[in-house]
Structure 1
Amino acid sequence: MTTSLPTPQPSQPAADGLMSAARRNLRETAHGLAHPSHPSVPPFAGARKRWRRLVPYVIVFALTALFLPVTITVLTNQYGVDDWPAGLLAVVQTLPLLMLAHRPLQAWWIILPADVLGALVLLMYAQPPQDIWPWPPPTLFCLLFLLLAVALRETRRTTIAVWALTAAAGLVLHLSVTERSNGSAGLVAAFGAIVTVIGAVVRERGVAQRRLAEQETISEAERAQRTLLEERTRIARELHDVVAHHMSVITVQADSAPYRINGLSREAREEFEAIAASARESLTEMRRLLTVLRSEDAQGERAPQPGLDRVQQLVEATVRAGLPVELSLAAGLPDLPQAVDLSAYRIVQEALANVIRHAPGARTGVSVTSDGAHLTVLVVNDPAEQPRSPLEPEASGTGHGLVGMRERVRLTGGTLDTGPLPDGGFRVAARLPLSPVTPTAPATAAAPEDS
C-alpha cells in the first residue's frame, strides 16, 4: 500500500505580503500619475537672469508653433483627413505642449488620449501609400518630447508608468489592427525609453546637486555657529580671569578692613564679614564654571591675560615673521578697564593674524589712541606684496578672526568697522568705551577676510 505525500502549498502569509506590496505599489503609482511631484513653476524660475527664466517658455512656444501647422498639413495632405477634423485633432494634440514648462504630466493626460483618438479617426480614411500608423510622424515626435518633459520633472516611478502606458497604448492599437500598423508603436516604445532614461538621469543629477548645495549651506551655517560659540566660550574664560581678580581684591579688602580701620562697630564688622563671605562664594562658583568652560588642553590659558602693554611685543614678533608693521601707541593712555584692555589686545592680535594669512608681506599700520572717553584701535594694511602659494589654503585660520572681534566689541558696548579699501587693502577700526556701557550689537561691515 502506497501513501501519497501532500503537495507543499505556498505560505499564505507570504502570498498576502506580496499582494499587499503589489496593491501598495499600484496605489503609489496611481497617486503619482494623478498628482504632480513638483510645483507648477517652470525650470529656471529662480534664475537671476531674465533670459534664463524665459528659456522654457520660448521652447514650448516654438514646439507648439512647429507641430500645429505640420500636424494639420500631414493629416490633410498625406492621410486625406477633412480640414475641420484635421484642425481639431491638431489643436487637441499640440496645444497642450504649452503646458510642458510647468505641467507636463497634465499635458500627457490630454495628448495621449487625443493621439489614440486620432489613430482611430485615421482608420475611417483609406490607407495612403506612405502610411505610418498608429502614430503619424508629428504625433511620434510630439510624444517623444512629451516623455522627455515628464522625465525631467516627475519622479522615477511616475516616469516609468507614463512610458509604460504610452507604449501599452501603441501596442493595443497595433494588435487591434495589425494589417494597418507598420511599427510606429514600437518606435515610440524604443525611442521613448531612451529619452526617458536621459531625462531621468538629468533630473536625478540636478536633484543630487541641489541636495549637495543645501547640505553645504547647512554645514557652513553650522560651522559659523560653532565658531561663534567657541569664541564666546573663549571670551567667557578670559572674563573669568578678569572678574576673579576684582573679586579677590574685594575679598582681601573685606577681610582686612576690621584690622586696618579702628573703631568699627559690631554691625560694620558683620557687614564686612558678609561681603567677604559673598565674594568667596562667588569665586567658588566661578571656579566651578571655569572647570566646565576650560578644556583639558587649555592649560596655556591659565597665564595672566595680556593687555596693551604687550602690544609692542606682539608687533615685534609679527615683524620677525616677515610682515612690515608700524605701531603708533599714544602716550599717557588712561587706566583702562581690564575687559577693554584685553579686548584691544585681542583685536590687534586677530587683525595682524588676518594680514599674515590673507595679505602676506603687506605694509600694515597699527594705531591705538584715546580721547578720554573712548579707546580707538585701528589696523590698516596695504594690498599683499607676496603672491599666495597655490598650495596654501586660504582659510587656514580657526575662523575666530572677525567673529572674535565682533564678540569682544559687543561685550564692551563699542562699535566695529571692517571692510576692504579701494586700493585692495583692508581696514579694521574698533571704538571701545572706557566707561561701563550696556553692550549693544555693533554695526559691522561684512568682509570676506574673516579668518
Structure 2
Amino acid sequence: MRELRDLARDVRRHPWAPDVLLVGALLLWVVITWTGAGAGHFVLGVVQVLPLLWRRREPLVAAAAVALVCLVQVAVTDEPHPANVAVPIAVYSAAAFGTRRQSFTVMFLGLAGALVAAFDWRLRFQPVSQQLVVIAFQAFFLGMFVLVAWVLGDVVRRRKAVVARLEQQNAALARDQAQRARLTAQSERASIAREMHDVVAHSLAVVVVQADGALYAARRALSEPPAIGADRAALERAAQTLETLADTARTSLADTRRLVGVLRDEDSDVELAPLQGLAHLEDLVQRVRDSGVPVHLAVRGRLDDLAKEVDLAAYRVVQEALTNVMKHAGPHASADVDLLRTPAVLLVRVSDDGGRDDHRPPHRGDGAGNGLVGMTERVEVLDGTVHAGPRSRGGWEVVATIPTGRHDGIPSSSSEQKESA
C-alpha cells in the first residue's frame, strides 16, 4: 500500500513519465507487428501513436491528430492497424484531462470513426445483406470500445473534480481554523489584559490612597506642637497604613505571579482568572474601608450557587467600581454596594456620594483608563448590561445586570429568546 502511494506521488510529480512509457510500449507493439509488412505500415503506426505524448496537456489536439491519421489509414488501406489502439486511449485522455465539452467532442468523433471503420473493414465479397450485418456488428463493437474508454475517462475527471473541491474545502477550513485561532488568541489576550488591570489597578489604587493618608498623617503630626499623645496617635495611623500597604502589595504580587506563571507554562491546567469571587467580597470591602472610604454592603439572595463566570464578573464590577471611588471621588466619600439575586439576573449596584471638600488634597486621577471598558466587556460576554454615570444628587453610580442562566458554552435564556424571536 505504501509503495502504491509512493508511485502515485511520483506520477503526480512527473506526469510526462507515464505517457513516455505508454508511447514506448505502443511503438514496441508497432515494431513487433511490422514484421512482414511494408514501410508504410510502420510509418502509419508511428505517426498514429506519437500524438499520445500530448494527451494530458493538449487532449483535444492529440485526439484530432490520431483521428487525422486514422482518415489517412482509411484512404490507403482497408484493414485495421495494431496502432488503432491509440483511438480509445485518445478518447479516454480527452474525457479524463480535457474539459467536458472537449470530452463530448472527442466521444462523438470516436463514434463517427467507429462507423467509418466498420464500413471500411467490411468484407466486400459477401452479399449486401451480410455486409450490413457485419457493418452493424463492427460498428457496435468499435463504438462500445469508444464509449467504455469515454466512461472511464469521465469517471477519472469527476473524481479529480471532487478531490479538487475537497482540497479547496480543506484549504478554506484551514484558513477558518487559523482565523479562529487568531480570534481566540486575541480574546485570551483581552481577558488577560482585563485580569491584569483588575489586579494591578485596584491594588495600586489602595496603595496610592493609603500612601496619601500616611503622608497626610505624617505632615499633620509634624505641623502640630510636640506632644506625646499626638505623636503616638500619628504613629499608630502610620503603622496601620503601612500594614494595609504591605497586605495589598502581597496580594497583588501573588495574583500577578499566578497570571504570569500560567502564561509561561503551556501545559498548566490552572485557570487564568485569579482565585477571587463574591466569596471574597467582604475582604474586598474591608480593604477599601481600611483605606479610609466607608462602604456599606448589602447582599440579598444566594450567591454561592452562581456560575463561575457570573461570580467573577460581579466581583470584578464591584472591585473596579470601588477602585474608581477611591481614585476619583472627593474626600470623605462613602460608597454603597448592593447585590440583588433574582431567579433571572444578578443586579450589582455600586454608588458613592461624591465626598465633600476638605483641607486634604484630593487624589488626582491617572487619566482615561480601561476599567469601565473591561467591566463592560466582561458583562456583555454573559449577555448582561452595564450602566455607569453620575447621579442626579451627586456622586457616581455603576449598575450591572448579569443573567444567571447557563454560561458553559450554551446560550443563556435571553440569547435563546432573541434567537427564537
Report TM bin, short chain.
0.3 to 0.5
Higher radius of gyration, 1 or 2: 2
Normalising by structure 2, we get a TM-score of: 0.43
Of Structure 1 and Structure 2, the greater helix share is in 2
